[in-house]
Amino acid sequence: MQARAPRREHAHAHMGHSRSQCLKILRRLSAYLDNDLSVSVCDEIRKHLGACPNCEVFVNSLRQTVSLCRHMDVAPLAPSFKARLRGEILRAAGHL
């Protein structure tokens, strides 16, 4: 019988974070990067990122991706389409 690989939750718990805390942060990242959150929520996210290397790496990667995309010549999305697309992505990821 093969030993099971450790679940990802254990890695988060080891760092003092639960998987649900990280998911809560990840759900807000788009708004965080767009500066669409209150100062207190941004402080909460920065505090988490400073203590969670996995989330910090993910955010830095996402920032780089956003930066690369902003330098491409593409037509901007209509706000209603952007909101609908964001909702569909979150639903597909199981976050809504």
In terms of C-beta distances under 8 Å and separation of at least 24 residues, what long-range contacts does 28-33 make, across chains too?
29/58, 29/59, 29/62, 30/86, 33/59, 33/62, 33/63, 33/66
What's the structural domain count of the chain? 1
Digit-coded pLDDT (tens) for 58-72:
999 999 988 888 888
pTM exceeds 0.85 = no
Residue 70 lies in a domain: yes
Residue 69 lies in a domain: yes
Identify the domain containing residue 43 by its residue range: 8-92
Residue 24 lies in a domain: yes
Amino acid occupying residue 58: F
Q: Would you state the pLDDT for residue 96? A: 53
Residue 1 lies in a domain: no
| Lowest mean pLDDT segment, chosen from 13-17, 42-46, 60-64 | 13-17
Residue 34 lies in a domain: yes
Residue 67 lies in a domain: yes
Residue 77 lies in a domain: yes
Residue 86 lies in a domain: yes
| Lowest mean pLDDT segment, chosen from 7-11, 21-25, 27-31, 66-70 | 7-11
Q: Would you state the pLDDT for residue 60? A: 92
Q: Provide the pLDDT confidence category of residue 10 given band limits of 50, 70 and 90.
A: very low
Tokens for 52? Answer: 């969670």
